[in-house]
Amino acid sequence: MLEQQKRDWHVIARDEVLARLKARHEGLSPAEVAERFNRCGPNRLPEAGRPSLARVILRQFANPLTYILLAAAAVSAFLENWSDVGFIASVVIIDVIIGSAQEWQAETSAASLKKTLRISPTVVRAGVRRTVSIEDLVPGDIWLLESGAAVPADLRLLTAQDLRVDESLLTGESHSVVKDADAIVAAEAGLGDRANMAHAGTLVVSGRGSGVVCGTGSRTELGAIAHMLASEGARPPLLVRMEAFSNRIAVATVLLVLLVAGGLVARGGALEEGFLFAIALAVSAIPEGLPMAITVALSIASSRMGKRDVIVRRLPAVEALGSCTLIATDKTGTLTANRLTVKKVALPGAGAFDVEGEGLELEGEIRAADGRAPADTEAKRGLIRLATAASLTNESEIGVAEGALEARGDAVDVSFLVLAAKLGLTRAELLMAHAPRGAIPYEPKKSFSASANVDGQRQRLSVKGAP
């Protein structure tokens, strides 16, 4: 049986991993791929299917206060008080329409978002490189890692050349991690310490490599997290309070019926008359407009969050988020955008300079920090020399994709490319003017990176890192 269930691939040597997965460096044959796909299923995270419109509508009735309103409508119909029946029915219908429309729109938006997130990994099968759908990956596939690629499954690395992976989605650590295919890691090592593994949901920051797929779909580390998130969590505070409120109304209504009916009968009235009077009084005490008011308020809040690119699939989730009193989170990449910006530059003998702009804004003036005047010609030459050196010894990229500016690579390297752009420089133009002759990529053990380039008739060495 194919050993996809094992979770200790990081403690096993590469050759043994290939043997256990019955895989080869030249990849699987088409027949092996088909057989493993039928056995293991598509490489897809576990998720609940999209609910039907009928289910979304029925879900709006799952409210204790709605139950009481429906009971009140039934009693009003029994008493032939059709005006109350019509009013209560209209309130319930409006409440259901608003809630259903909001949740159906959220489900549609979530489904559309998933369609845009398509990854087409490059694998080796039968000795040939192929681009396949992410869902078609199977255990034993040989996947080729390259800078900027999203890891589609759990991999045991076979080769790694200056390979760095951003694992912040899984570990919360904002710094990219250096990978080593030769490493043998202890069994108890955490996800962030498995240097010979690349996990689904992470991103290749720089370098090249290859790996054998050892876990797909729900059998990945990301799949285990998705499975936990798919389980039913705590009920939103609003539903808890609504249920308690509805229970109090129900108890109060029953006591009111018994008290009024008993009082009328004790004074000599007819039992039927006392009962009907008590029921009518109880119905009038029920706040028919409360569910609709709550639904409208939550819908407005959900729409406002939608304008901030937040999809709220269930209306009570808005109130649940507002009820949070303590949020424990890692800052970089979670509360922030994992972007760094050069805001101040200090040059020897020229003083300090402030840089305008944030994030990926490629335009911004550079002014002297003291007099707020633009940098003079001599200072600008120094800034250009600094930005040139930082751009040549750089592994990041800035480009336009589908009309939007995107950056790939380490956040520090990206910030230097943005600084260079503000000075009218691009890395592509600099490389054309300074032909590369060699490079030393950044590694934490060295704490620096370097690039050798030809600058006219002389050699130029650029170094960036810790002193």
Give the span between the Cα atoms of 91 and 326, in whole angstroms: 36
At 174 the three-state DSSP class reads coil
Tokens found for residue 23:
């895989």
The answer to whether 195 and 225 have CB atoms below 8 angstroms apart is no
Residue with tokens 């998933």: 114
Orientation angle between helical segments 377-392 and 411-422, nearest 10 degrees: 140
Helices (H), 50-174: 53-59, 64-78, 82-116, 168-171
Closest CA to 322 of 335, 312, 332, 331: 312
Sign of dihedral through CA atoms 273, 274, 275, 279? positive
In the DSSP assignment, the letter for residue 355 is E
Q: What are phi and psi of 109, to 5 degrees?
A: -65, -40
354 is catalytic: no
Catalytic residue among 8, 182, 330, 370: 330
User: Torsion angle of alpha carbons 228, 189, 174, 17, nearest 10°?
Assistant: -80
Closest CA to 151 of 191, 189, 185: 191
The answer to whether 236 and 320 have CB atoms below 8 angstroms apart is yes
Residues 6 or more apart whose Cβ sits within 8 Å of residue 394: 409, 413, 416, 417, 427, 449, 451, 464
Q: Which residues are catalytic?
A: 330
